[in-house]
């Protein structure tokens, strides 16, 4: 049984993961904060449905993902998933200035941005990512492959200079 103190401890232990995922989806700190706040409430409300503490992170990130997607749809401020385009101005500017990894990830389309975030930043295995993003492991592998390719292209200069 996870009590309130334990719940708070688990949330704090996963705050970076929550932020990374939420930010990858809403691309805005304030919106990410709102998504995380709502996620915490939902998670707390439904903590009884969590079967094992070991699954907490995946379970929590799934709530973050669903909450963020709802947020995006509701706000209609972000273009439907799969349709987010990399703005050429930003990309060009970013390449010229050897953009940092975070900026490079931010410039990716969805769902690549989220998959990259979960895979690289959160070290989550493919099957866990598929659970969080409500898709199949095959899809995640494809998305990851394409995301890597795009990321590599964006970071070509930096990477080649390594």
Partner 1 sequence: MNEFDRYIKDAILEAQCQIPDCVKDKIEATLSALPKFENKLDDMGTEKGTVLKFKSKSLQKFASIAACFLFISLAVLPNCSTAYAQALENVPVIGKIVKVVTIRNYFYSDGNHDMNIAVPKIENNKGPATAYINKNVDELTKILADKFNKDMEENGKKGHSGIFVDYDVVTNNDKWFTLRMNVQESAASTNTYYKYYHIDKLSGQIVTLKDLFKTKDFAEVLKDEIRRQMKAEMAKDSTKEYWIDNAEVGKDFIQLDDEQNFYWNDNGDLVIAFDKYEVGPGSMGTPAFTINKDIIEDILKDEYK
Choose, by CB under 8 A, the member of 21, 25, 26, 36 that binds partner 1.
Answer: 36
Nearer CB in complex with partner 1: 33/84? 33
Mark 112-130 as b/e (b = at least 16 C-beta within 10 Å). Answer: bbbbbbbbbbbebebebbb
Q: Using CB under 8 A, which of the segments 54-62, 68-76, 79-87, 106-114 binds partner 1? A: 68-76
| Interatomic CA distance for residues 87 and 68, integer angstroms | 22
Q: How many CA atoms, within 13 angstroms, populate the side-chain half-sphere of residue 37?
A: 7
C-alpha 30/C-alpha 23 separation (Å) is: 9
- Binding to partner 1 by residue 59, rule CB under 8 A? no
Q: Any contact of residue 95 with partner 1 (CB under 8 A)?
A: no
Dig out the tokens for 81 from the structure.
């998933």
Binding residues (CB under 8 A) for partner 1: these are 3-4, 7-8, 11-12, 15-16, 18-20, 29-30, 32-34, 36-38, 40-42, 44-45, 48, 70-71, 74, 100-102, 120-121, 148, 151-152, 155, 159, 162
């Amino acid at each position: 049984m996870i009590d309130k103190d334990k719940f708070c401890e688990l949330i704090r232990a996963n705050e970076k993961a929550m932020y990374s995922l939420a930010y990858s989806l809403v691309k805005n700190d304030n919106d990410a904060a709102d998504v995380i706040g709502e996620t915490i409430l939902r998670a707390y409300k439904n903590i009884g449905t969590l079967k094992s503490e070991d699954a907490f992170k995946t379970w929590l990130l799934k709530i973050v993902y669903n909450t963020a997607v709802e947020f995006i749809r509701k706000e209609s401020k972000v273009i439907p998933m799969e349709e987010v385009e990399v703005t050429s101005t930003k990309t060009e500017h970013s390449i010229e200035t050897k953009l940092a990894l975070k900026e490079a990830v931010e410039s990716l389309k969805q769902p690549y941005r989220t998959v990259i975030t979960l895979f690289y930043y959160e070290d989550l295995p493919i099957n866990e990512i598929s659970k969080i993003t409500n898709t199949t492991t095959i899809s995640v592998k494809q998305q990851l492959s394409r995301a890597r390719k795009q990321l590599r292209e964006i970071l070509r200069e930096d990477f080649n200079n390594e």
